[in-house]
Amino acid sequence: MTADSSDPNRQTQQVVVVGGGLAGIAAALAIARQGLRVSLYESRPRLGGRASFVEDRASGDLIDNCQHVSMGCCVNFQQLCRWADADPHLVEESRLHFIARDGKVNPLRAAWLPAPMHLLPSFLSLSYLTLSEKGRLMLGLRKLLQTPRMPGDDFAEFLKLCRQPESLIERFWKPVLVSALSEDLERISYRYARQVFCQGFFENRQGWTVQLLNCSLGYFYDHLLTSALTRHQVEIHLNDAVKKIEITPPDSVSQGSRVCSLKLASGKIITAADFVVAVPPWRVGSLFEPDVLTNITSQAAQFETAPIASVHLWFDRPITTLRHAVLMDRVSQWMFNRTAILTHQDQSTPAGWSCYQVVISNARELKNEEGESAGRKSSEQIIEQVVRELAEIWPEVKHAELKHARLITDQRAVFSPLPMIDQIRPHQQTEIPNLQLAGDWTETGWPATMEGAVRSGFLAARNILRQRGLPSEIMASELPAGKLSRILIARSGPADL
């Protein structure tokens, strides 16, 4: 495709990527590594999309919008980190701490047993489950591993069929799945719930380990990923929203249709040979004329979303030495000790302050930062409740001075992994040969995660590279299932409930 050289508003690239979240970044880097010229257009003043950071004036920090957790099984996110020399910043946590209502700390760690048995001793020692609940849990887990599919793809239905008691659902299934998928158990696809346990916890001894960046997301994007992109000559255009994607012929998609150009909000026209659109589902519709690609835009319009809230707290002293903890039977779900986690000093937190972040997934009961609304709690009430809950666990909170606190809620943090969601997740290759989609919501086989976003970007890039006959071995190898896992975890076949 050549630019109209007489028009100074027209620019040509080989590949244009729309959206600078992890999906767009992954696509841009994967393509540019093969020597193609890539331009990335992002409407916001920074990269990162939903896994991003905000300026906090009171503390002087660029704070992550929310602690982002990766796992051992997130192999493509790790691949992106390697490409950006960010892998030394990804620190593995070899144990988790589940803190019961009475304050007892239950460590979750891998025993010497082979997968999928390695976590069972920890599950069986959970102090807040009764013997009979542990028995039901073992039956439920066994059934889950043996049942690859459920009619209707409804996880709540599975829990009923396996007769999992309400108390066990509240103290085991819910904390694990709400953290992973950020949805009510009544609104979760069986396939994705099972994936959390099979691929995450059981198939391989490494899959479940939590991985946390020891640097801020600000440093991750502004230094590590930006350096990797610019090293491969990706042109990054921030504050440069794409307004329309122009298709020829203009009114309908037929054989031979192509995307010919993008119109930016600034009025500039950008032409390219290939396009990757890596925006969230609620932005896709506005990029196309109403009558084109209606299958994709109507699928995108059907996605529902769930909120995640994070309470950022700065105390005048440390309140715990734990790096992180899962809090049971409380509004607060996860505590992250940011001062301990961020060993790479790229923050300007005042000396002596200790920073903690408490994450509340599926935060529908909570409200956003704008003020009190009927029937919901104000930011101050939520912060007070979280501080009270931390004080019940760590008495040092009662002696500490809370220097500063901030609630950040993203109302559209993740798409809801509803039963049968796969039916509306579009493939990266659209019916227009030179138009790829990317984004955590596209067909990746993963829920809304950093891994899902990176996978989607790699898949879109792979399509483009293959079409050009360039090396396209981008996808990282999955963690291999252990020998015993291959026997005990069913891979396919009809539901056998």
Ligand X SMILES: Cc1cc2nc3c(=O)[nH]c(=O)nc-3n(C[C@H](O)[C@H](O)[C@H](O)COP(=O)(O)OP(=O)(O)OC[C@H]3O[C@@H](n4cnc5c(N)ncnc54)[C@H](O)[C@@H]3O)c2cc1C
Min. distance of Cβ 287 from ligand X in angstroms?
6
The residue from 141, 440, 465, 485 that contacts ligand X (CB under 6 A) is 440
By the rule CB under 6 A, 178 interacts with ligand X:
no
- Count of chain residues binding ligand X (CB under 6 A): 37
The residue from 15, 16, 17, 18 that contacts ligand X (CB under 6 A) is 18
Nearer to ligand X, 203 or 240 (CB): 240
By the rule CB under 6 A, 49 interacts with ligand X:
yes
Nearer to ligand X, 51 or 178 (CB): 51
Task: Give the up-direction half-sphere exposure of residue 298: CA atoms within 13 A in the CB hemisphere.
Answer: 7
Nearer to ligand X, 36 or 438 (CB): 438
Residue 149 CA: distances (Å) to CA of 90, 157, 189, 426: 33, 12, 10, 21
The residue from 19, 140, 175, 207 that contacts ligand X (CB under 6 A) is 19
Nearer to ligand X, 116 or 200 (CB): 200
The residue from 31, 32, 66, 259 that contacts ligand X (CB under 6 A) is 66
Min. distance of Cβ 273 from ligand X in angstroms?
19
Nearer to ligand X, 25 or 198 (CB): 25
Min. distance of Cβ 310 from ligand X in angstroms?
6
Which helix (DSSP H) or strand (DSSP E) does residue 308 occupy? Answer: strand 305-315
By the rule CB under 6 A, 308 interacts with ligand X:
yes
By the rule CB under 6 A, 218 interacts with ligand X:
no
Query: Among residues 184, 121, 120, which one has the least CA distance to residue 154?
Result: 184
Query: Among residues 265, 230, 229, which one has the least CA distance to residue 244?
Result: 265
CA dist., res. 216 & res. 357, Å (int): 13
User: Which range, of 98-106, 218-226, 277-285, 336-344, touches ligand X by CB under 6 A?
Assistant: 277-285
Question: Positive or negative CA dihedral for 243, 247, 249, 252?
Answer: negative
Residue 355 is which amino acid? C
By the rule CB under 6 A, 280 interacts with ligand X:
yes
Task: Work out the burial of residue 336: count CB atoms within 10 Å of its CB; fewer than 13 is exposed, 13-18 middle, 19 or more buried.
Answer: buried
- Gyration radius of the chain over CA positions: 23
Nearer to ligand X, 202 or 303 (CB): 303
Min. distance of Cβ 20 from ligand X in angstroms?
5
Residues 226-245 that bind ligand X (CB under 6 A): 241-242
Contact 248/258 with Cβ under 8 angstroms?
yes
CA dist., res. 442 & res. 14, Å (int): 23
Nearer to ligand X, 21 or 426 (CB): 21
By the rule CB under 6 A, 453 interacts with ligand X:
yes
Question: β-strand 105-109 against 95-99: which pairing, if any?
Answer: antiparallel
CA dist., res. 138 & res. 144, Å (int): 10
CA triple 103-109-114, angle to 5 deg? 150
Residues 358-417 that bind ligand X (CB under 6 A): 410, 413-414
Nearer to ligand X, 43 or 261 (CB): 43
Min. distance of Cβ 166 from ligand X in angstroms?
27
Min. distance of Cβ 157 from ligand X in angstroms?
26
CA dist., res. 462 & res. 367, Å (int): 40
By the rule CB under 6 A, 435 interacts with ligand X:
no
Nearer to ligand X, 70 or 320 (CB): 70
Q: In DSSP terms, which residues pair with 18 in a beta bridge? A: 41, 277
The residue from 30, 38, 68, 225 that contacts ligand X (CB under 6 A) is 68
Residues in the chain: 497
Contact 375/277 with Cβ under 8 angstroms?
no
Nearer to ligand X, 400 or 408 (CB): 408
By the rule CB under 6 A, 22 interacts with ligand X:
yes
User: Which range, of 48-56, 188-196, 290-298, 383-391, touches ligand X by CB under 6 A?
Assistant: 48-56
By the rule CB under 6 A, 23 interacts with ligand X:
yes
By the rule CB under 6 A, 223 interacts with ligand X:
no
Residue 185: how many CB atoms within 10 A of its CB? 19
CA dist., res. 72 & res. 118, Å (int): 15
Residue 147 CA: distances (Å) to CA of 155, 354, 446: 12, 45, 18
Residue 410: how many CB atoms within 10 A of its CB? 18
User: Which range, of 21-29, 80-88, 117-125, 250-258, touches ligand X by CB under 6 A?
Assistant: 21-29
Helix (H, G, I), strand (E, B) or coil at 275: strand
CA dist., res. 393 & res. 391, Å (int): 5
Binding site for ligand X (CB under 6 A): 18-24, 41-44, 49-51, 65-66, 68-70, 241-242, 278-280, 283, 308, 410, 413-414, 439-440, 448-453
